[in-house]
Amino acid sequence: MTIYQYQKKCYKEYKESIKFSEQTYLYGNPVNTVVPMMAATIGKVMVVGSFPSAKLYFVNDIPDVPLYDSNAPFSTEPYFDGSRVRTSAMGQALDEMILESIGVTREECWLTSLVKVFLFDEDHVKKYHRLGRKDIQENRSKFMDYANRSITWLRQEIEIANPYVIILLGAEVVSSLLLVSQEEARDYMTGEVIEKKIIWKNSHFICLPPPALLLDRSPRNPWPRKFAINIGPKALKEVERLKSQPTI
């Protein structure tokens, strides 16, 4: 299967395959499948996030209201949100906090998400209620169910991309892909390589904290410091080691 064939198939069939309950944004446009777009690079790095961000807007004095799908996973394309020009915080954080730390450029990456539709959390629902949309349903809590149904799609991507390393971002993604509890998954976020057989060969996984966790600078959150001092440097060495090895 080619990249284009996968993108077309995924966009058409994905939501039904995971039994996604249809949702619409504030003005009625549907929540659609966000397919991988930074996917022209074969045999290099795959980055797997949890689910795509949405484009957030300033509506009736309410900030950060999700209105439209992102163009791609971890998109950094600028847009005007009704108040200012902005880009996805997750996309920027991926580039500036994670990829730069591990010595990888965006152009070297197949960027994707495990769940390929935007999910509404309770805060989004409250904002929609304030704006007069009472029918919106929280579905962030269904992530693990959707994730388990999405594994076959990610396996197809891995088969096409044939990456020398797969970066897993966050405990939910690690738990789903490596079949461990979320508590164990957090212990895996060390920057060290974990091998697991996927498709037809052993794949190399590096588990890292997600961008949102690294952006949280509250005193009780140890992850930004842990990443800067230990996790990031370890991941950099592992990526350099794997990059120098011949691939099949």
Overall number of domains in the chain: 1
Q: Are strands 45-49 and 109-113 parallel, antiparallel or unpaired?
A: parallel
pTM for the complete prediction? 0.94
For position 42, what pLDDT does the model report? 84
Integer Cα distance of 112 and 51 in angstroms: 8
**Percent of the chain predicted with pLDDT > 90:** 89
Which domain does 127 fall in, by range? 3-244
DSSP for 160-214 reads HH--SEEEEESHHHHHHHHT--HHHHHHHTTS-EEEEEETTEEEEEEEE--HHHH
DSSP string, 74-96: T----EE-SSSEE--HHHHHIII
pLDDT in tens, 37-82: 876 678 899 999 999 999 999 999 999 999 999 999 999 999 999 9
What six digits make up the tokens of 178? 């490596």
Q: Once rounded to an integer, what is the mean pLDDT over residues 110-131? A: 97
- The angle at the Cα of 173, spanning 136 to 240, to the nearest 5 degrees, equals 140
**Confidence bin at 232 (pLDDT 50/70/90):** very high
Closest CA to 157 of 15, 5, 50, 33: 5
pLDDT at residue 13 tops 60: yes
Looking up tokens 């001092």, which residue turns up? 229
Both tokens of 241, joined, read 């080691």
Q: Are strands 165-169 and 79-80 parallel, antiparallel or unpaired?
A: unpaired
Give the residue-averaged pLDDT of 106-130. Answer: 96
CATH number for the domain harbouring residue 179 = 3.40.470.10
- CA-nearest of 20, 54, 26, 16 to 136 is 26
Q: Does the structure show a pLDDT above 90 at 201? A: no
